[in-house]
Structure 1
Amino acid sequence: MKIISLNIGKPKTSLYNNKEYISGIGKHRVKNVLLTKEQFVGDDVANPQFHGGPDRSVCFYPHEHYEQWEQEFDTSLMVPAFGENLTVSGMLEKDVCIGDIFQIGEAVVQITQGRIPCSTISKYNHIDPLLKRTIETCYTGYFARVLNEGVIMDNSEIVLIDKHPLLINVFHTMYTYFHSNDTDSIQQIIEVNELASDMKNKFIKKLKKNTQQ
């Protein structure tokens, strides 16, 4: 597990198809930054209803996916292309479980949910099908809450402190959310206490809808 890039950024106005949009997806690399319970210092989101908050203080994106997207769309992507705070290697969605706890530099974080991507990733990268493909592949990245605040360096070690015993990985969680109505899988995900509350509510609604059909 390794940090490829440590990134922060404030919301700004950009253009896509001659239309303005405001987003915090455009981030820049930094050498070190303080991570608080809410967010990295100097980082922010444009729409707090869908982004940010204590359960989504840190956004991760696996660097391995960049190669696939670059090949698939015959383009080059500048890191960070997905608005992630931490571009990482060795931490794919299938490797990381909801509730896993990692120490990164001085900070300690816990994985809370997969990312539900929005159209901003297509707009920012000027690749119309990128959102659709991100959802199809479940290469979404994921979020974490902060258990202990502290400074993270761009060369800080990533150390797994605790593997969650239920072993519900991010890929399975997002595949179930986007592509499956398997009641057993939904129930297993809901039972992970460390799952972000907003995400848990989405799965509860999904389960109720299934049982009403």
Structure 2
Amino acid sequence: MTNIGKVIQTFSADKNSSGLPRPIVSSLNLIVDYGIENDKFALKDLDQTVMMVGLKSYDIAKQEGINLVHGALGENILVDFDPHEYKIGDVFYIGDSAIEITQICTVCNHLSVFDKKLPKLLKSHRGLYCKILNSGIITKEKEVLFKEDR
């Protein structure tokens, strides 16, 4: 397995949270066939349980003069590499957990609260939805590993 980067920050919205940005949390407890412990989206769509975003998405916005706080894109995991360089079906290993890319997150109008240009600007870099393959705890600074299966 190859170390491809690290976790910059973790975010989760509990049942009392609404809107964006998602609140920062010290860790995420990923649970197979459930979702993220205490997250309001747990048990909803298991193929969209975890959203991963790379710093590049924030850089794209910043280049257009849109300064966003981390968590504004609705991510659960912010990483220091571009996850969009990987494809659906690829698996990331973070600590004991493993998550598989299931789809590219579609850009919704929720982002226009920050800037009307943002949905179009990030249409191919909003983030990736993942499902949980192995349970585990994810914290800031954890290495993200990828096993080349090609």
- For the aligned pair, the TM-score class normalised by the smaller chain equals 0.7 to 0.9
Do the aligned partners of 1:102 and 1:162 also contact (CA within 8 Å) in 2?
no
Aligned counterparts, 1:189-204, within 5 A: none
In the alignment, is the contact (CA less than 8 A) between 1:30 and 1:154 conserved in 2? Answer: no
Higher relative CO (CA 8 A, sep ≥ 6), structure 1 or 2? 2
User: Which amino acid in structure 2 is aligned with residue 4 of structure 1?
Assistant: I
Root mean square deviation, CA, Å: 2.0
Unaligned 5+ residue runs, structure 2?
none
Letter in 1 for 2:35: Q
Structure of larger gyration radius? 1
Say whether the 8 Å CA contact 2:107–2:120 is kept in structure 1: no
Name the structure with the higher helix share.
Answer: 1
Query: What amino acid does structure 2 have at the position aligned with 1:7?
Result: F
Match of 2:71 in 1: 80
| 1:39 aligns to 2:27 (yes or no) | no
Provide closer, same or farther for how the CA distance between residues 59 and 134 of structure 1 changes in structure 2, counting only shifts above 3 A. same
1:27 aligns with 2:30: no
Residues matched between the structures, number: 144
Give the TM-score taking structure 2 as reference length: 0.84
Aligned to 2:69, the other structure's residue is in SS state: coil
TM-score by length of 1: 0.61
The alpha carbon displacement at 1:11 in A equals 5.6
Higher strand share: 2
Q: Which amino acid is 1:76 matched to?
A: N
**Percentage of pairs with the same residue:** 24
Q: What residue ranges of structure 1 are gaps of 5+ in the alignment?
A: 14-21, 166-213
In the TM superposition, structure 1's runs of 4+ consecutive aligned residues that sit over 4 Å from their partners are none
CA distance in 2, matches of 1:68, 1:86: 18
Q: In the alignment, what sits opposite 2:116?
A: 128
Aligned to 1:96: 86
CA contact (8 A) 2:52 2:83 kept: no
2:112–2:118 CA contact under 8 A, matched in 1: yes
Structure 1 partner of 2:11: 7
